[in-house]
Structure 1
Amino acid sequence: MSRATEERKLKHLFDGGAWNVYEPNILNLGVGAPGTDLLESCCDIFQQATEHCLQHEKKENQSLIFQYGPTNGCFEVRREIATYLSAMYDSPVNCEDLIITAGATNGLHLLLSTLIDFQGYIFVDEFTYMIALDSMKHFTSLTIVPVKLNDDGVDLRDLGEKVEKHRFSSPNKEFWGMYYTIPTYHNPTGILFSPEVCRGIVQLARKHDFLVVCDDVYNILYYGERPEARLLAYDARTDVDYAGHVVSNCSFSKILGPGLRLGWLEVPPRIKPLLEGSGFANSGGCFNNYTAGIVGSLFKLNLAQQQIARFHETYKERMLATTEALAAALPEGCKMLSPSGGYFIWIRLPQPLDAREFLKYSLEQQKIAFIAGPRFAADGDSGKQFFRLSIGFHGKAKLADGARRLCQSLKDYMMSVTTA
């Protein structure tokens, strides 16, 4: 059978892979996606929203949802998103600052291709979202510079020294460099950047005039107190030295469904006209005009709000069940960062253990998969003592049982290494 024939039969991103998350014989604790039980109600609510939207289009809007949309997205849709986010963040989000995208990866690509000098630099946390790294590496003339990460966020001294070392004046683009991060419930570590670190990042960005891109897909998934503020809020427009250095890059993938391919950028006035004037954006108009219209109706009917609240509560239950099981059974010498929100749990093994070798052992002994630390490193080799677990896909009972079995497997592995 040809590869083309095989691909036509694939049903989802993980289909055909070694760790198919739907494969019953392997418990994949690495996948960062919502599970089937969360998505099953989408058919009903999207059917209602589609009927609502298309009736409006047919009667009142000349079916313009099927036309090239405005580059930054339909105003009514952006207003619905901004209204919802303002309530969730407890701080204003202006619809005039939003640009509709086809998801966070699409937003990152737009920013890289439009705003950053192609001879420039991308500063990243020493462990960061692996697909973002893959996307950055396609811009082969850009240099990726890892920066040390602490338990409360990026190491400001290390970031400052590396930025100062590489800074140059760009004759071609708005920015000579970018710092990419996930400041709220970081991927893969789960940490929440402290207010002090957020303020420090903004100060450095203003001093050295580089762009800060926040991958903000987990912002509203807090499981205790709401975070004090997101990093974008520290780049306050009321400051006397404000110029606009921080962009929030968001997506509905974790809270409504990845298949929508819908997200948004929240950008300062300095940046918005540059993005709207990009040929990459302007050629086809709004990146996802049709789906954006349906999601707009989903919010108007209060269906999106209910669905997101359900996702939120389910994730909270799953995170608590998983961390409780790990805390009770994790072997001595291992360290777990217990997050207050988001999707991920970051575990450190004692030296000199290698998470890649433990992964092989875990798959063989317990049929449990996770993602080893080097996948999140720019060099593909650092962080061998770490691994990441995700709570998004499986139910809490399965996650708790899997966590206990993983800990037992880890104890057995550590014993086998010690006695070898």
Structure 2
Amino acid sequence: MSEKNNTERLLKHLFDGGPWNVYEPNILNLGVGAPGTDLLESNCDNFRKATDHCLQREKTKNQSLIFQYGPTSGAYEVRHEIATYFSEMYENPVNSEDLIITTGATQGLHLVLSTLIDFQGFIFVDEFTYMIALDSMKHFTSLNIIPVKLNDDGVDLKDLEEKVSKRRFKSEKKEFWGIYYTIPTYHNPTGILFSPDICRGIVKLARKYDFLVVCDDVYTILHYDEKPTLSRLLAYDNRSDPDFVGSVISNGSFSKILGPGVRVGWLEVPARIKPILDGSGFANSGGCFNNYTAGIVRSLFELKLAQKQIDRFYEAYKERMLATTEVLRDELPQSCKLVSPTGGYFIWVRIPDHLDARKFLEYSMQEEKIFFIAGPRFSLDGESGKQFFRLSIAFYAKEKLVDGARRLCRALRNYIEKNPAGS
């Protein structure tokens, strides 16, 4: 039976109102992929200064056009600041003319799906991938989602080529018949950094079969070990190559490094794709998707406040990741597997195959009040990956993460003893 009226819920954040609220002191939620309050608090002062700086310029020099429909790609000055900063961080050029301002990576993905791919086409995804991206894809009910095997160094190229080659067709309606969606740098949920050989192989296949590669690059600058030679897969799609056509989109966001509520991201796209996205109904209807806040972010960079805040996030994440993985390496049961990530947000743990991480989650909540996300949530069928679970290091301070990791390992040891193989 349908409800007759909507019910108002006075919620304060995305995680409010659910059973595993990250602000509930009695629960340690190691599933949440978001920065904690201790990191966000300095944004209040920084954004106040940037807002004053931005609006003063608007009033005196720019006719208050920040409140007008913005250019479809976003104001040049905003894109220039983003391009300048990330060119330095990637040690690889980002061109402002290739950028389109979005409200974040999920909206960027939705724009690409709704604009560039034939609705009878195919989306290839890693066998475990970002669950909200999967949710977004499933809303396009005529699209076919195909999982591809994932190895410790990235996607399995043989499996990808086999599945792509069997499904390729000539689209008469859209630019692309198929898309491969991935998170090649500090993958969500596995933490994998795709190897250079895998990245080169993906680009080679994309050119051969003319499919589009869409990369979520939201963790790319969060490297805690030696910096990758090329920080993102797009850099392997080299414009000087004789067979270059432009096959890769980099989908970026400030959600992980400034704050999710800022709602500013960007797509970095090749020249053959930019006019299609700029000409979409989404962009033409209202111009820049976030003209006002993007202007404030411009001032944040001009005042060097964004750089300072991002550095603070980075140092905190690095400390938290290194401390948490050290505990897990020392105290996880020998029958479990951990590949320590060299960057990003997430740790992917494998438990013995006869166990189910969903059942262990129930035990963990009962015994230790520790929540995580079980592997099946990241699979297309919702069942594969029962022997895995994902932890996040982003939300809590190091001390709380270390204590939680130790208690989680203790709970896992006890759970394995209570549930031996063959029982």
Query: % of aligned pairs identical?
Result: 75
Partner of 1:194: 195
Provide the rounded CA distance (Å) in 1 between the counterparts of 2:304 and 2:176. Answer: 40
Say whether residues 1:144 and 2:145 are aligned partners.
yes
- The answer as to whether partners of 1:83 and 1:93 remain within 8 angstroms in 2 is yes
The size of the alignment, in residue pairs, is 419
Deviations 1:178-201 (A, max 9, x none): 000000000000000000000000
Provide the rounded CA distance (Å) in 2 between the counterparts of 1:91 and 1:99. Answer: 18
- The answer as to whether partners of 1:345 and 1:388 remain within 8 angstroms in 2 is yes
- The answer as to whether partners of 1:355 and 1:372 remain within 8 angstroms in 2 is yes
User: Deviation of residue 337 (structure 1)?
Assistant: 1.6
Identify which of 330, 333, 337 aligns with 2:332: 330
Say whether residues 1:352 and 2:354 are aligned partners.
yes
User: Deviation of residue 280 (structure 1)?
Assistant: 1.5
Partner of 2:219: 218
Provide the rounded CA distance (Å) in 2 between the counterparts of 1:71 and 1:232. Answer: 23
Provide the rounded CA distance (Å) in 2 between the counterparts of 1:386 and 1:397. Answer: 25
Instruction: Please list, as runs of the form range in 1=range in 2, the aligned pairs for 1:8-407 lying within 5 A after superposition.
Output: 9-229=10-230, 230-407=232-409
User: Deviation of residue 211 (structure 1)?
Assistant: 0.2
SS of the equivalent of 2:286 reads coil
- The answer as to whether partners of 1:153 and 1:192 remain within 8 angstroms in 2 is yes
Partner of 2:411: 409
- Mind listing any 5+ residue stretches in structure 2 that lack a counterpart? none
Scaled by the length of structure 2, the TM-score of the pair is 0.98
Scaled by the length of structure 1, the TM-score of the pair is 0.99
- The answer as to whether partners of 1:236 and 1:242 remain within 8 angstroms in 2 is yes
User: Deviation of residue 5 (structure 1)?
Assistant: 4.7
Provide the rounded CA distance (Å) in 2 between the counterparts of 1:55 and 1:10. Answer: 33
SS of the equivalent of 2:419 reads helix
User: Deviation of residue 140 (structure 1)?
Assistant: 0.2
Q: Which amino acid aligns with 1:90?
A: E
Deviations 1:354-394 (A, max 9, x none): 00000000000000000000000011110000000000000
Provide the rounded CA distance (Å) in 2 between the counterparts of 1:196 and 1:395. Answer: 36
Provide the rounded CA distance (Å) in 1 between the counterparts of 2:270 and 2:353. Answer: 45
Deviations 1:281-338 (A, max 9, x none): 2211000000000000000000000000000000000001100111111011100121
- The answer as to whether partners of 1:110 and 1:281 remain within 8 angstroms in 2 is no
- The answer as to whether partners of 1:183 and 1:214 remain within 8 angstroms in 2 is yes
Q: Which amino acid aligns with 2:333?
A: P
Q: Which amino acid aligns with 2:408?
A: L
Provide the rounded CA distance (Å) in 1 between the counterparts of 2:105 and 2:329. Answer: 32
Q: Which amino acid aligns with 1:377?
A: S
Deviations 1:85-139 (A, max 9, x none): 0100011110000000010000000000000000000000000000000000000
User: Deviation of residue 418 (structure 1)?
Assistant: 2.1
Provide the rounded CA distance (Å) in 1 between the counterparts of 2:132 and 2:205. Answer: 26
- Mind listing any 5+ residue stretches in structure 1 that lack a counterpart? none
SS of the equivalent of 2:82 reads helix
SS of the equivalent of 1:389 reads strand
